[in-house]
Amino acid sequence: MTAHAEPLHGHEDHHGPPPANQSSRVDARTLGMLLFIGSEIMLFGSFFAAYFFVRVVNPGAPDQWPPEPYHFPVFVAGVNTAILVTSSFTMHWALQCIKRGERAGFLAGMVLTFLMGLAFLLTQVVEYLNVGFNTGDGAFASVFFGLTGLHGAHVFVGLSLLLMVIIRGFRGHFSPEHHHGVELPGIYWHFVDVMWIVVYATVYLL
Amino acid sequence: MTATHPSPDVQQYPAHFEPPHGSTWRTFFGPGLVRGAWMTVAGFLIGMLLVLALRWWWGWEPLWNTEVILVVGGMVLAPIGFLAGIGSFDYWLHYISGRPTRPEDHSGHGAKTWKDYFRVNTDHKVIGIQYLVTTFAFFTIGGLMAMFFRAELAQPGLQFVDSQTFNGLVSVHATLMIFLFIIPAFAGLANFAVPLMLGAPDMAFPRLNALSFWLLPIAGLMFVASFLAPGGAFGAGWTGYAPLAEGQPLGQTFFNMGVQWAGASSIMTALNFLVTIITMRAPGMTFWRMPLLVWANFTTSLLVVLATPFIAGSQFFVMFDRVMHTSFFVPEGGGYVLGYQHIFWFYSHPAVYIMMLPGFGIVSEVISSMSRKPIFGYRLMALSLLGILVLGFSVWAHHMFVAGMADWLRVPMMITTLLIAIPTGIKVFSWIATLWRGRIHLTTPMLFALGFVTMFVIGGLSGIYLGSVPIDIAASDTYFIVAHIHYVLFGGSVFTIYAGVYYWFPKMTGRMYSETLGKWHFWMTFLSFNATFFPMHYVGLRGMPRRVFDYDEAFGNMNLFISIASFVLGASFVLFVYNVITSWQRGPVAEANPWRARTLEWQVSSPPPIFNFDEIPQVVGGPYEYGVPGARHAILTPTKEAQKEAEEVHA
């Protein structure tokens, strides 16, 4: 590496900002990601609120959920849940590997996580095509597509982040000292995973 | 780092690297407004083709659906194309592609010419000014709309516009003032002041900061452009209630999507403020030594991060109902109409505090330094902000007393609403106690701060009236509400924005504004503001409904008076603009600390050096210890210039 990578201090030759004081033990990027996730939880909260209004508060809510003659594919979505939960473990494994400097395990873990996430998303697309109702078929369909679709969009964002880690990983980036670029997408991926468990339990099981 | 894995997390180009030059190539393909323009068009076309292809694939008729194409092409992909074009994503795309990232050469930092304000700039001081100029531009547009519909309202009956245009003018006026003026103007002032006050060289995420600014003009243009849509601008009010909004013409979609961009902008800025305040305080700057402006932005940012997703949700639902034929709020499909108001107000009531708390911070700074006294009850001032934050989430349904919601919700919501008067009252009494026996300097920012305290008390009191269920039932949807919100948002928020702009004007521009013009501006605004909005209490209680283009003859004279006063109010803004422009060009050069204030931003030159501080200062005490013998807020290493001067004196 070249000399300019070093921060330039010195009173006579001052080209960059003074290094900021680190006033918290929390890393700024991790904190930013956690706050972002807090905001995302509230966004899901508004969708859950809509679900609550349609199914519980609404005086005309149907007795059966979903109303006759529709059915939610509980089993397929259950298998999908298992896939997504597993991918959280492989993600964790990948992160632990790069922390120990085991490149092969890191790359294998990332690729496995990505493939499982992709399988989840594709299964959801197939589920949408065969679910037997459409967005226009009533409020139950609105909240079904709303919650699962919002989650699907998050899986897509998560997959994009994972892909970014994979590209950089295969190009030889990340090391036991520098793995923030793995850790932050990892935190996001775990959030997407946990959120799915809540969505699955609410929409399909309850 | 071993030899087999030579690349660290961020690779860097050698020091002599220069991006390829060549003027034409650079103009079209280098980051900038030209690339932004053609990538906007490209984004729209990609969106359009995507929609057409999918509709053809599924065999949906008709192939051309204007609303869907507008949403996907015009309101999602075109803005993304614009942002990519001006270069907001360049660094991240480099990172994602795995290519070496460019070393930070600080070329995106600071502004040497006016052109640098039209670039993606990562300097918080430049972004602060970008925010302020943009928001005041939209303030002008929103104000002209207000004067237009005041002209319409000067006489009963229809004179100038049709009813849909009238509703559009009122709705766009409110939307611009809230989402494109008050909220982002505070973000702009804080963007400039907060890192300096904390003793930080910049915000925590400068690129994110630049991106959040550039989302703002997108949202604003979307709101204004809705007038061009067939059927006219969105006319369901800034509240956009369903099911009214779902039957509106195409313009409503501009509101649904514009709110998403404005909301994303404020969430990102708020996140940035929170991380900056938590992780980048100067050594010794404990939470209990932070200036109240920083405290105010800390609480506001928490509100923004947690509440704003709810308005995003509410507007998504309305858009889905309009575009995708869902039935979130369609009773025939099993939807629940009142759900909209619950979800909307769960954001929009906290939003009232998002539009107020930063103003509290500004006023605390101004009143303390202009009366040369420590702020009274500093800790309680900070804690009352947190009190408002918590209570603010528990009062949303007081907007729905007449909406037909569950009866049992009314009294709890009334009690929590009235409880908010306690932390707010603490603040008002603390300001008065700070003024008590102070050496008051009646400068323009101080006049606006005092104007704020008086006007906000009136707005707060009418708020307590409206918080009580019986009065609200009688006064709901009348001009009393219009009077109340303008006393809170104009007499409250806008006065504090003026106070903040005058207070930091010398710091931002390095020049002093004209005090005479400033005082004229204050008195003209203050008097015409009261002449405009005070009579609205009266006509409201007499029964004139809000959001109407026509009204009973009996209110004719009153409305004529209000309209004339509102034109004077509009004219007073011209004084402000003239003062700002001429002073910025050739006002007298400002000292580093014209107010002799203690907070850190006044301890550096005006305008501040490009990286704020040569060395991060050491904070040793509270920020408001005026008149306390021997008290200091911070110790700064003298700047290079000061050192040179000192050496010359010694030599």
B531 band by pLDDT with thresholds 50, 70 and 90 = very high
Higher pLDDT, A14 or A96: A96
What global pTM score does this model have? 0.92
Query: Which chain B residues are closer than 8 Å to A23 by Cβ?
Result: 278-283, 285
Q: Which uninterrupted H or E stretch holds B619?
A: strand B618-619
Percent of chain B residues past pLDDT 90, beyond the cut: 80
Residues A82 and A60: their CA atoms lie apart, in Å, by 35
**Which three-class secondary structure state does DSSP give residue B285?**
coil
**Which three-class secondary structure state does DSSP give residue B101?**
strand
Residues B520 and B528: their CA atoms lie apart, in Å, by 12
**Which three-class secondary structure state does DSSP give residue A66?**
coil
Q: Which of residues 186-215 of B touch A (CB under 8 A)?
A: 199-202, 204-205
Query: Is it true that domain A27-205 has CATH number 3.100.10.20?
Result: no
Question: Are B309 and A45 inside 8 Å of each other by CB?
Answer: yes
Count H helices and E strands in chain B, helices first.
23, 2
- Give me the sign of the Cα torsion angle B231, B236, B240, B246: negative
A10 band by pLDDT with thresholds 50, 70 and 90 = very low
Closest approach of A117 to chain B, Cα-based (Å): 19
What end-to-end distance do the CA atoms of chain A give, in Å?
A: 57
Query: Which chain B residues are closer than 8 Å to A42 by Cβ?
Result: 305-310
Query: Hey, what are B193's tokens?
Result: 């002041």
B31-44 average pLDDT score: 93
pLDDT by residue (tens digit) across A43-71? 999 999 999 999 999 888 888 888 888 99
pLDDT by residue (tens digit) across B11-27? 444 444 445 556 788 78
For A3, name the nearest residue in chain B, comparing CA atoms only. Answer: B15
Tell me what the pLDDT averaged over chain A comes to: 90
- Give me the sign of the Cα torsion angle B433, B371, B513, B120: negative
The pLDDT, as a whole number, for residue B3 is: 38
The reply to whether B68 touches chain A by the CB within 8 Å rule is no
B435-448 average pLDDT score: 95
Helices (H), B324-435: 338-354, 357-370, 378-392, 410-419, 421-435
B605-614 average pLDDT score: 90
Q: Which uninterrupted H or E stretch holds B618?
A: strand B618-619
Q: Is the pLDDT of residue A194 over 90?
A: yes
Does residue B70 contact residue B62 with C-beta atoms inside 8 Å?
no
For A36, name the nearest residue in chain B, comparing CA atoms only. Answer: B271
Query: Hey, what are B459's tokens?
Result: 């707005």
Burial group, residue B118, by CB count within 10 angstroms (0-12, 13-18, 19+) = middle
Angle between helices B292-323 and B338-354 (to 10 degrees): 160
| Least confident segment among B35-39, B116-120, B386-390 | B116-120
Q: What are the CA-CA distances from residue A34 to residues A26, A182, B271, B484 (Å)?
A: 11, 15, 10, 38
The pLDDT, as a whole number, for residue B647 is: 64
Q: Which fold has domain B114-586?
A: Cytochrome C Oxidase; Chain A (1.20.210)
The reply to whether B243 touches chain A by the CB within 8 Å rule is no
Q: For residue B623, is the peptide bond before it cis, meaning its omega torsion is within 30 degrees of 0?
A: no
Query: Which chain A residues are closer than 8 Å to B14 by Cβ?
Result: 2
Helices (H), B31-86: 33-58, 66-69, 78-86
Q: Is the pLDDT of residue B443 over 60?
A: yes
The reply to whether B8 touches chain A by the CB within 8 Å rule is yes
Place of tokens 């009393």: B480
Residues B107 and B91: their CA atoms lie apart, in Å, by 13
Q: Where are the domains of chain A?
A: 27-205
* Nearest-10 Cα torsion for B301, B304, B306, B311: 180
Model ipTM?
0.91
Most confident range (mean pLDDT) of A76-85, B16-25, B107-116 is A76-85
Tell me what the pLDDT averaged over chain B comes to: 91
Q: Where are the domains of chain B?
A: 23-96, 114-586
pLDDT by residue (tens digit) across B39-62? 999 999 999 999 999 999 988 888
pLDDT by residue (tens digit) across B50-104? 999 999 998 888 889 889 999 999 999 999 999 999 989 988 888 888 777 666 6
Q: Which uninterrupted H or E stretch holds B635?
A: strand B634-635
Computed over its alpha carbons, how large is the radius of gyration of chain A?
A: 22
Q: What are the CA-CA distances from residue B436 to residues B99, B169, B425, B445, B503 (Å)?
A: 62, 44, 16, 18, 21
Q: What are the CA-CA distances from residue B587 to residues A26, B304, B370, B583, B609 (Å)?
A: 44, 37, 22, 4, 20
Q: Is the pLDDT of residue B176 over 90?
A: yes
DSSP category for residue B154: T
Percent of chain B residues past pLDDT 70, beyond the cut: 94
B494-507 average pLDDT score: 97
Query: Hey, what are B163's tokens?
Result: 């009813």
pLDDT by residue (tens digit) across B561-600? 999 999 999 999 999 999 999 999 999 999 999 999 999 9
- DSSP sequence for B420-442: THHHHHHHHHHHHHHHTT-----
Question: Are A50 and B204 inside 8 Å of each other by CB?
Answer: no
The pLDDT, as a whole number, for residue A196 is: 97
Residues B480 and B396: their CA atoms lie apart, in Å, by 19
Q: Is the pLDDT of residue B148 over 70?
A: yes
The pLDDT, as a whole number, for residue B90 is: 87
The pLDDT, as a whole number, for residue A154 is: 97
